[in-house]
Amino acid sequence: MTTRRTPDIRLARAASPRSLAALFVIFALVQVATVLVVSRWNGIPPAKFLGVWDAGWYLRIAESGYSGPAWAFFPAFPWLMRVTSAETGFSPLVAGTLLSSLFLVAAAFLYLRHVADDARGFPRGTNLGWLLFLFSPASWVFLHPHTESLYLLLLVATLACWTRRRWWLAAIVAGFAALTKNQGVLLAVATGFAAAADAWTSADRQVRMERAGLRFLLVGLVSGAIYSIYPVYQYAVAGDPFLYLSSQIHWRPEMTLASCFKTLWFGNPWQNLRPGSLLHHAFFFALIYVVYKYARQYPRNWIWIYFALHAAIMPSSGELVSDLRYASVLIVLWLFAGDNLSGTRATPFVACAAVMLHVAFLYSAVMGRWAY
């Protein structure tokens, strides 16, 4: 007679496939229950929630192609929505939701199996770390028709190539990440640094520099060639290869370099000191601190360059109201933070606070309020 094993999800314990699966089930149940309860209580059709915010733009691109401000959104995810919808018969909205959910699960288990290596600086993660990642405030976008789940999968796949020193493949995957979100360009840059550092093995300094420089250049050329698909497409269709840049003025026409810096001290006229803005600012500076701590602990894991660049461009929109969404994909940092918080008396309080904050953001998203 065999006994049925149940997953051990004690927060301070290292995550296993079983405990991670249990956390995913809890995460999915919280999402579905919150959406259904909030929708029913407020008389909002649950399906309406799937088309709010950027999901509406991706739906528009998947259904009718690019036009007007839609050029500001990168093509990989809406094109996948369109292809999946055509092949399955599902609506693009349903197809996008299913794709996001599948990409999230695939990314998490790909990381656990092919990336996690504590010695390299890719933490396996405690259950608390995985809980912080899954229940980060804006992680509701992972089960929503947004680009985050696809980008997360491509980020993890790139790191899997790093751990096996398959730099050509890493450059290719990073190139597709750049077709998904503009942060993918930064991932390609970090991949170039990692590939160059890996070539720094010769005893001769001149040879080391030549090999490292050549690798950095080749990674850039490969990733850049894939990324160029979108500018070439824009030129072919609209006659402007940089239309995606000018289209972003639709959201912040007053943007200048000075306004990016003013973002940090609420110096722009469109910023405010409401609790939500203060929360986003506090999170931004906490993120900077975690990146610093990670770089100090793992200086030879060049992924910290990506984290630093990723954080550095957050003020570029003139405010930090989307930094929780942008940071949701930084799986390594969430696990790293969880490892450092696990095993203390504060562990259960941190877990409860994370879930409560996540539910609050999800509530706002269902209600049509800003929740990034």
Are 243 and 68 spatial neighbours (Cβ–Cβ below 8 Å)? no
Does residue 4 carry a pLDDT above 60? Answer: no
User: What is the mean predicted confidence (pLDDT) over 214-242?
Assistant: 93
Q: Whole-angstrom Cα distance, residue 100 to residue 78?
A: 11
Confidence label for 96 from pLDDT (cuts 50, 70 and 90):
very high
User: What is the mean predicted confidence (pLDDT) over 275-292?
Assistant: 95
pLDDT averaged over every residue in the chain: 91
- Domain spans, the chain: 19-366
Helices 92-114/148-163 angle, 10° precision: 20
CA 288 to chain centre: 16
Dig out the tokens for 233 from the structure: 């497409």
Q: What is the pLDDT of residue 1?
A: 45
Q: Whole-angstrom Cα distance, residue 180 to residue 267?
A: 31
User: What is the mean predicted confidence (pLDDT) over 217-237?
Assistant: 94
345 vs 95 pLDDT, higher one: 95
325 vs 342 pLDDT, higher one: 325
Does residue 5 carry a pLDDT above 70? Answer: no
Query: Cα separations (Å) of 309 from 106, 201, 313?
Result: 25, 26, 6
Backbone φ and ψ of 122, nearest 5°: -110, 90
Global confidence as pTM: 0.94
Say how many residues make up the chain: 372
Element (H, E) at 98: helix 92-114
Q: What is the pLDDT of residue 29?
A: 95
Dig out the tokens for 112 from the structure: 């656990």
Backbone φ and ψ of 32, nearest 5°: -65, -45
Neighbouring residues of 36: CB distance < 8 A, sequence distance ≥ 6: 46
Confidence label for 253 from pLDDT (cuts 50, 70 and 90):
low
Judge residue 190's burial from the number of C-beta atoms within 10 Å of its C-beta, 0-12 exposed, 13-18 middle, 19 or more buried. Answer: buried
User: What is the mean predicted confidence (pLDDT) over 137-152?
Assistant: 96
Q: What is the pLDDT of residue 248?
A: 78
Does residue 170 carry a pLDDT above 70? Answer: yes
What percent of the chain clears pLDDT 70, i.e. is strictly above it? 94
Are 121 and 294 spatial neighbours (Cβ–Cβ below 8 Å)? yes
User: What is the mean predicted confidence (pLDDT) over 173-201?
Assistant: 93
Query: Cα separations (Å) of 62 from 43, 177, 193, 334?
Result: 28, 18, 35, 32
Lowest mean pLDDT among 37-51, 92-106, 305-319: 37-51
Q: What is the pLDDT of residue 61?
A: 95
- Give me the residue label for tokens 């409560």: 356
Which tens digit of pLDDT belongs to each residue from 9-60? 688 888 899 999 999 999 999 999 999 999 999 988 888 888 888 999 999 9
Dig out the tokens for 170 from the structure: 């890493």
Q: What is the pLDDT of residue 345?
A: 82
Which tens digit of pLDDT belongs to each residue from 317-340? 888 999 999 999 999 999 999 999
Beta bridge partners of 14: 126
User: What is the mean predicted confidence (pLDDT) over 137-157?
Assistant: 96
Confidence label for 119 from pLDDT (cuts 50, 70 and 90):
confident
Instruction: Find, among 84, 322, 75, the residue nearest to 180 by Cα.
Output: 75
Lowest mean pLDDT among 212-216, 255-259, 337-341: 255-259
Q: Whole-angstrom Cα distance, residue 336 to residue 356?
A: 21
